[in-house]
Amino acid sequence: MKLLQEVQVEPNDIQRRINQTIHLQQTREEVYIRFQVVQERINKAFDKRTKAEYFYLRDKVLKWDSRREDKGKHGNFDILWKGPYIIYDFRGNNAFFLSELDGTEAEGGSVNGQMLKHYIEPSYLFH
């Protein structure tokens, strides 16, 4: 039935093909707009749950030991944070270069800011 309606409405094959192409492009644009809306919602939900940490030069930080994070590569009570290190340089928004406390450069090159957390010195050492 639909095929008969299409054949009667459109005088030739070329016109029918042009109309199909136009309809396809409109559908693609609608899907793209819906995709952007969904993507924005996902980003807002993710941004709510992430905490923004700001690192500055000479901050003391701990670095996540990603080599040992998989199950079976460490014991239950092993600490998976290395450090403390000092931030001595950065590139862009989230790449940091670390040095040991004595000033020597830490191995591994730059570190993503997601792999760092601020180091808080234990208070029981100061009493």
CATH number of the domain where residue 65 is located: 2.30.30
Mean pLDDT score, 21-50: 88
Query: Cβ atoms within 10 A of the Cβ of 87, count?
Result: 19
Poorest-confidence range of 37-41, 47-51, 95-99? 47-51
The upper half-sphere exposure of residue 37, i.e. CA atoms within 13 Å in the direction of its Cβ, equals 6
Determine contact, residues 63/115, Cβ cutoff 8 Å. Answer: yes
User: So what's the pLDDT on residue 34?
Assistant: 96
Query: Looking at the domain assignment, is residue 55 inside a domain?
Result: no
42 and 80 in a single domain? The answer is no
Mean local confidence (pLDDT), 87-108: 87
Mean pLDDT of the chain: 81
Judgement on whether residues 36 and 74 belong to the same structural domain of the protein:
no
Quick one: pLDDT band at residue 125, thresholds 50, 70, 90? low
Domain region containing 78: 60-126
* CA pseudo-torsion sign 89, 56, 100, 111: negative
Total count of domains within the chain: 2
**What is the rounded average pLDDT of the residues 26-34?**
95
Instruction: Note whether residue 77 is domain-resident.
Output: yes
The answer to whether residues 67 and 121 belong to one domain is yes
Decide if pLDDT at 36 tops 60: yes
What is the predicted pLDDT for the residue at 109? 84
Q: Which two tokens stand for residue 29?
A: 């644009």
Please report how many Cα atoms fall inside a 13 Å half-sphere around the Cα of residue 125, on the Cβ side.
3
Same domain, 67 and 43: no
pTM listed for this prediction = 0.53
If asked whether residues 44 and 13 sit together in one domain, one would say yes
Query: In terms of domains, do 64 and 109 share one?
Result: yes
- pLDDT value of position 8: 59
Shared-domain flag, residues 45 and 71: no
Same domain flag for 21 and 73: no
Is position 54 within any domain?
no
Match 């644009």 to its residue by tokens. Answer: 29
Q: In this predicted model, which residue has the larger pLDDT, 59 or 4?
A: 59
